[in-house]
């Protein structure tokens, strides 16, 4: 009995740890979400449920019908729950990855890149040049550079203005903050805009709104 109790307690602890890790992963990407959050949460709930149920069964009297579930029947139930949960979580992650589009606000990033786009302004001498302040916050590996391929300029109503292709790509070294220069084909008309930087990993980093007088 003690061995089974320890096993179920371990399963429950693993479930709780999975749930905590899921929320930690999601908070690391806030305000965006990450598809791994769904898998961690579903697996965590499944393992926690099975663990708690197993612990409860261990405390029933020997003649209890629920007590008889342990052994082959309960093992089969545990395997079924785990397989079903993994299947559902895999489908959720696949759908998230399939529908991911960096141009759509609020979609989850494809990896752990994090960039803070703090400010966008017009260069005084060249009204068709944008100055974008960016800061490296994180990447899939602690010392990875982040490489930008495009800049997407939109109005405050999300209407596309232009897409600037960087040639060569712009590199943001790890642990650095720099000012990027984006040269537009023409001057922007008066209004409010946002600039979105797209990385080689497919992530999109949106700037605060900036105004052209």
Q: For residue 164, give the nearest of 175, 148, 177, 179 by alpha carbon.
A: 148
Tens digits of residue pLDDT in 87-109: 666 655 555 554 444 444 444 44
At residue 1, does pLDDT exceed 50? Answer: no
φ and ψ at residue 128, rounded to 5 degrees: -95, 10
For each of the domains in the chain, give its residue range(s) and CATH number, in order of start. Answer: 2-98 (no CATH), 114-212 (2.60.40.3020)
Question: Which residues are bridge partners to 153 per DSSP?
Answer: 162, 195
3-state secondary structure the chain: CHHHHHHHHHHHHHHHHHHHHHHHHHHHCCCCCCCHHHHHHHHHHHHHHHHHHHHHHHCCCCCCCHHHHCCHHHHHHHHHHHHHHHHHHHHHHHHHHHCCCCCCCCCCCCCCCEEEEEEEEECCCCCCEEEEEEEEEECCCCCCCEEEEEEEEEECCCCEEEEEEEEEEEEECCCCEEEEEEECCCCCCCEEEEEEEEECCCCEEECCCEEEC
Q: Are 98 and 44 in contact (CB under 8 A)?
A: no
pLDDT of residue 160: 94
At residue 197, does pLDDT exceed 70? Answer: yes
Tens digits of residue pLDDT in 75-88: 666 666 666 666 66
């Amino acid at each position: 009995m003690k061995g089974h109790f320890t096993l179920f307690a371990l399963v429950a602890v693993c479930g709780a740890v999975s749930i905590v890790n899921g929320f930690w992963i999601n908070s690391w990407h806030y305000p965006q979400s990450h598809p791994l959050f769904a898998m961690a949460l579903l697996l965590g709930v499944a393992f926690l449920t099975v663990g708690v149920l197993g612990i409860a069964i261990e405390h029933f009297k020997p003649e209890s019908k629920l007590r008889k579930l342990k052994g082959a029947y309960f093992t089969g139930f545990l395997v079924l729950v785990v397989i079903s949960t993994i299947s559902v979580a895999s489908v959720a992650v696949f759908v998230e990855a399939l529908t991911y589009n960096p141009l759509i606000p609020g979609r989850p990033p494809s990896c752990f890149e994090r960039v803070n786009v703090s400010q966008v302004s017009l260069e005084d001498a060249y009204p068709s040049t944008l100055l974008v302040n960016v800061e490296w916050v994180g990447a899939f590996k602690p010392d990875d550079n982040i490489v930008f391929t495009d800049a997407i300029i939109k109005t405050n109503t999300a209407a596309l203005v232009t897409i600037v292709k960087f040639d060569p790509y712009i590199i943001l070294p790890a642990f650095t903050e720099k000012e990027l220069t984006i040269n537009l084909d023409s001057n922007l008309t008066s209004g409010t805009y946002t600039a979105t930087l797209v990385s080689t990993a497919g992530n999109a980093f949106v700037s605060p709104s900036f105004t052209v007088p």
